[in-house]
């Protein structure tokens, strides 16, 4: 039986040139060091979360832009409807005043628009004009069925197209909207008058050129 020498412990073999501390550091793994695979997994997870946040942000931004566009369209519709309602109300009011304006016009034509009646009539016409009422219709202008209403018809040798020869009642409009067409008497060219004019023009040309060629 061998005797162990007290105070000495067996130590692992240490290569020559190496200290015991080096051997212990190689033998025991470093504390707190994470494997490389776990770090990559954490980065991938954070990247996925960031992509989700960006996607949600883009979706919310698109929703906000859509809501803003819808709100702007709503405001435009409300403003357009408000203007339309206002124009309709003004047109209805002025339409009711047209007979009064016709009476004022007839009184002016007959020289009866005098005194206080003249002042009231002119004030009413001024107010109507400020509200956008415009009078139209003149003798001698071409007949336009979109703004004229023909109440009388005749033929005339001195017109080359259908023409308004008399304004029976003036027309009125507000902006581009006609609230009453002008009621007129129209005249068309005399049947055959155009042929006569063409023959006369040809004769004049022949006279200026020395007459027709003789055979």
Residue 71, pLDDT score: 92
Judgement on whether residues 121 and 167 belong to the same structural domain of the protein: no
Domain boundary among 131, 158, 180: 131
Residue 44, pLDDT score: 84
Token pair in block for residue 81: 């409807």
Query: How many domains are contained in the chain?
Result: 2
Judgement on whether residues 98 and 170 belong to the same structural domain of the protein: no
Judgement on whether residues 157 and 126 belong to the same structural domain of the protein: no
Judgement on whether residues 124 and 190 belong to the same structural domain of the protein: no
Judgement on whether residues 120 and 190 belong to the same structural domain of the protein: no
Judgement on whether residues 127 and 169 belong to the same structural domain of the protein: no
Evaluate whether residue 161 is within a structural domain: yes
Evaluate whether residue 141 is within a structural domain: yes
Evaluate whether residue 28 is within a structural domain: no
Evaluate whether residue 185 is within a structural domain: yes
- Judged by DSSP in three states, 29 sits in coil
Judgement on whether residues 115 and 163 belong to the same structural domain of the protein: no
Residue 206, pLDDT score: 60
Domain that holds residue 94: 49-131
Tell whether pTM > 0.75. no
Residue 184, pLDDT score: 96
Contact criterion met (CB below 8 Å) for 80 and 100: no
Contact criterion met (CB below 8 Å) for 98 and 180: yes
pLDDT digits (tens), the chain, 215 positions: 445 545 445 555 555 555 555 545 454 445 555 555 677 888 888 888 888 899 989 899 999 999 999 999 999 999 999 988 988 899 999 999 999 999 999 999 999 989 889 999 999 999 999 999 999 999 999 999 999 999 999 999 889 999 999 999 999 999 888 999 999 999 999 886 555 555 555 666 666 665 554 44
Q: Provide the pairing of β-strand 163-169 with 182-189.
A: antiparallel
Per-residue CA distances from 125 to 16, 120, 132 (Å):
123, 9, 11
Residue 2, pLDDT score: 47
Domain boundary among 83, 103, 131: 131
Judgement on whether residues 53 and 120 belong to the same structural domain of the protein: yes
Contact criterion met (CB below 8 Å) for 187 and 154: yes
């Amino acid at each position: 039986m061998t005797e162990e020498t007290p105070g000495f412990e067996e130590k692992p073999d240490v290569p020559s040139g190496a200290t015991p501390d080096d051997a212990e550091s190689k033998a025991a793994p470093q504390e707190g060091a994470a494997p490389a695979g776990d770090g990559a997994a954490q980065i991938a997870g954070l990247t996925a979360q960031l992509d989700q946040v960006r996607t949600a942000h883009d979706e919310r931004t698109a929703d906000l832009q859509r809501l803003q566009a819808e709100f702007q369209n709503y405001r435009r519709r409300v403003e357009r409807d408000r203007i339309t309602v206002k124009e309709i109300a003004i047109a209805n009011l002025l339409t009711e005043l047209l007979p009064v304006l016709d009476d004022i016009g007839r009184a002016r034509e007959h020289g009866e628009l005098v005194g206080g009646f003249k002042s009231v009539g002119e004030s009413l016409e001024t107010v109507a004009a400020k509200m956008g009422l415009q009078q139209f219709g003149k003798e001698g202008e071409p007949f336009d069925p979109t703004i004229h209403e023909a109440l009388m018809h005749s033929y005339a040798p001195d017109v080359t197209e259908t023409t308004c020869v008399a304004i029976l009642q003036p027309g009125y409009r507000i902006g581009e909207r006609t609230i009453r067409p002008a009621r007129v008497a129209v005249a068309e060219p005399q049947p055959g008058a155009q042929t006569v004019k063409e023959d006369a023009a040809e004769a004049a040309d022949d006279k200026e050129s020395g007459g027709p060629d003789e055979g």
